[in-house]
Structure 1
Amino acid sequence: MVLSEEIMKILNKQYEPLSFIESTFKRYDIGFKTDDAGRPILLFIGKKDDKGKIKGERFARRLKLGPNGDVIKDHWDNKGKTE
């Protein structure tokens, strides 16, 4: 699975720092963790099971910042299936 431009619009926003945000995107349930600046860094996308866990794919953000806080690298890696 590749992250579409539509979901990247959601992931490029700032949220509450150090939190877990749950939402829906089209027919998928999504959940993501944010870092201390409120940027999403870990994404789960799939369907929730009866226990509330999202079964599907897991993505991790690789974010490299320069000494003055400028973004040098920013991309998402697919880390495989979640169970």
Structure 2
Amino acid sequence: MIKPTLLKILNKTYEANTFISLKFGHYDIDFRTDEIGRPVLLFIGKKMENGKIKGERYARRLATDHTGKIIKDHWDHKGSAS
């Protein structure tokens, strides 16, 4: 489960269609943004020598109505990342 302090970071808007790496406490996090700049794919854990994160992977489910208002926003755990 993603904690509220991490959700504060993930609810911000970043540069569109990019891959962003940050430190979060003692974890490394990498996430990919969509065409609007919202994080949609998250890797959290420890970064290995090859640059990949060994830990957990999450995918964001976003549903919007016809006006663009978000009606569903949920992070699904997708398993281990390596």
TM exceeds 0.5? Answer: yes
- Per-residue deviation, 1:34: 0.1
Mapped pair 1:12 → 2:11? yes
**Residue by residue, what CA displacement relative to the aligned partner does 1:22-64 show, whole Å, maximum 9, x if unpaired?**
0000000000000000000000000011101001000000000
TM-score (norm: length of structure 1): 0.97
1:50 aligns with 2:49: yes
What stretches of structure 1 move > 3 A for 4+ residues in a row? none
1:9 counterpart SS class: helix
- Root-mean-square deviation over aligned CA pairs: 0.4
Structure 1 CA distance, aligned partners of 2:71 and 2:3?
21
Q: Which runs of 5+ in 1 are unaligned?
A: none
Give the paired residue count: 82
